[in-house]
Chain A
């Protein structure tokens, strides 16, 4: 599998599909510890991404992600907009004008995305946020970088899914859920859950099949 602009477009298109399919699930997760708009916001944001892709077809993976960043920051509305928008923007900057990505470039782009989220949201590992899915994904991606882009995507997706599950017992220290204090424990973080879905879409777009996600 070559990771070119077609892969990037497929990733974003499958992301939109996943956000629509898991919309109610994300709403339910967010209802428990947030303001229950995450599913709706992500769905709307990614529909806007798909519309933009059709309107102005990008020519490189980086251009595709930059376009997605703009659309997400303008259409999501909630905190996920600037967070995911920054992630995609930093990843796009890291990819530059490259027309194809190897394992190393992909792992570096994922790291840049994670660093963007941390810089924007000021959350640390263990705060029960999307960082808890992104950080293990980045580490797994870096470890798999020498094996090529397919294994990087697969490793990142698996680690993100496990990271999302691991937020269940955590007490939130950032975002709306942090107002709940101890009562936030026992619920999965919606941002970590959507991150797992988005990174699974990235692997799916490259034809990497994943085992059933852990529950």
Chain B
């Protein structure tokens, strides 16, 4: 199973549209929309949010739920729903922009990440779009350039052989693996632990990923990306 996602928006159209968008990249993830009021006005409804949470929790088989929200009172309604929930420990609220965060969370959930990693992926997505993600190797947030660890620079250049090049799932695999390593890694200059930043590179088949890594696991990080690229991210049928 995978982590389920709930979208809380002031507008039912935004919530269902966001779910449609994310579903394209994450066909196996349960996505529940809770947008608008009970009578389809602009606003949020505790009942709608609780119903969406119940559905998402029931279908997550214990993996839990990550909630994405839009404006202020959607956050407050989601928090209130948590207060009513009998299993609040299974629900995490992501502090992330709705669309970018949802897409990153959906891709992370699709690749089987646990709920705290799905939440982290959503939150890193916002920072990546804002251009502030310098990146810290373990994916625990945004820090300044001063956190680059000491040690020799390990590098590698890898040509993408999979037909679709860089897209959501390869980005999730790279970011997911690098997040667990003790290394500061950039790929073509962007944070290697940020799904959204990697996707935004839009490198095509035949294009090159240049990996630069420092830190204790620097060499492993470079080998990890090289291995994924060589296997075509698992998208190439065995000969």
Binding site for B on A (CB under 8 A): 41, 70, 73-79, 81-83, 85-86, 89, 120-121, 175
Q: Looking at A78, A85, A89, A175, which has the most chain B CB atoms within 10 Å of its CB? A: A78
Q: At the interface, yes or no: B112 with Cβ under 8 Å from chain A? A: no
CB neighbours (8 Å) of A41 from chain B are 43
The answer on a CB contact under 8 Å between A74 and B73 is: no
The answer on a CB contact under 8 Å between A81 and B83 is: no
CA distance A74 to B83 in the complex (A): 14
In the assembled complex, the CB of A94 is this many whole angstroms from the nearest CB of chain B, namely 14
CB neighbours (8 Å) of A78 from chain B are 43, 73
In the assembled complex, the CB of A96 is this many whole angstroms from the nearest CB of chain B, namely 16
How many inter-chain contacts with C-beta < 8 Å in the A-B complex? 52
The answer on a CB contact under 8 Å between A85 and B42 is: no
Given contacts A81-B77, A120-B80, contact A74 B46 (CB under 8 A): yes
CB neighbours (8 Å) of A175 from chain B are 72
Given contacts A74-B47, A81-B46, contact A86 B37 (CB under 8 A): no
CA distance A83 to B44 in the complex (A): 12
In the assembled complex, the CB of B205 is this many whole angstroms from the nearest CB of chain A, namely 47
CB neighbours (8 Å) of A83 from chain B are 76
CA distance A35 to B42 in the complex (A): 12
In the complex, residue of chain B having the shortest beta-carbon distance to the beta carbon of A40: B41
Q: How large is the interface on B (under 10, 10 to 19, 20 to 34, 35 or more residues)?
A: 10 to 19
The answer on a CB contact under 8 Å between B45 and A82 is: no
The answer on a CB contact under 8 Å between A73 and B80 is: yes
CA distance A83 to B72 in the complex (A): 11
CB neighbours (8 Å) of B46 from chain A are 70, 73-74, 81-82, 85
CB neighbours (8 Å) of A81 from chain B are 43-44, 46, 73, 77
Cβ-closest 10 pairs across A and B: A77-B43, A73-B46, A82-B76, A79-B73, A74-B47, A77-B37, A74-B46, A82-B80, A82-B77, A74-B45
In the complex, residue of chain A having the shortest beta-carbon distance to the beta carbon of B80: A82
CA distance A110 to B44 in the complex (A): 26
The answer on a CB contact under 8 Å between A89 and B43 is: no
CB neighbours (8 Å) of B76 from chain A are 79, 82-83, 86, 120-121
CA distance A82 to B46 in the complex (A): 8
CB neighbours (8 Å) of B42 from chain A are 77
CB neighbours (8 Å) of B55 from chain A are none
CB neighbours (8 Å) of B44 from chain A are 77, 81-82
In the complex, residue of chain A having the shortest beta-carbon distance to the beta carbon of B42: A77
Q: Which residues in window 46-63 of B have CB below 8 A to A? A: 46-48
The answer on a CB contact under 8 Å between B41 and A77 is: yes
Q: Looking at B45, B48, B73, which has the most chain A CB atoms within 10 Å of its CB? A: B73
CB neighbours (8 Å) of A76 from chain B are 43
CA distance A4 to B126 in the complex (A): 50
20 contacts between A and B (CB under 8 A): A73-B45, A73-B46, A73-B80, A74-B45, A74-B47, A74-B48, A76-B43, A77-B42, A77-B43, A79-B73, A81-B46, A81-B73, A81-B77, A82-B44, A82-B46, A82-B80, A83-B76, A85-B80, A86-B76, A120-B76
In the assembled complex, the CB of A78 is this many whole angstroms from the nearest CB of chain B, namely 6
Contact of A73 among B41, B72, B77 (CB under 8 A): B77
The answer on a CB contact under 8 Å between B38 and A75 is: yes
CA distance A86 to B79 in the complex (A): 10
CB neighbours (8 Å) of B47 from chain A are 74
Q: Looking at A41, A73, A78, A81, which has the most chain B CB atoms within 10 Å of its CB? A: A73
CB neighbours (8 Å) of B77 from chain A are 73, 81-82
Can you name 18 extra interface pairs (CB under 8 A) apart from A77-B42, A81-B73?
Answer: A41-B43, A70-B84, A73-B45, A73-B77, A74-B38, A74-B46, A74-B47, A75-B37, A75-B38, A78-B43, A78-B73, A79-B76, A81-B77, A82-B46, A82-B80, A86-B76, A121-B76, A175-B72
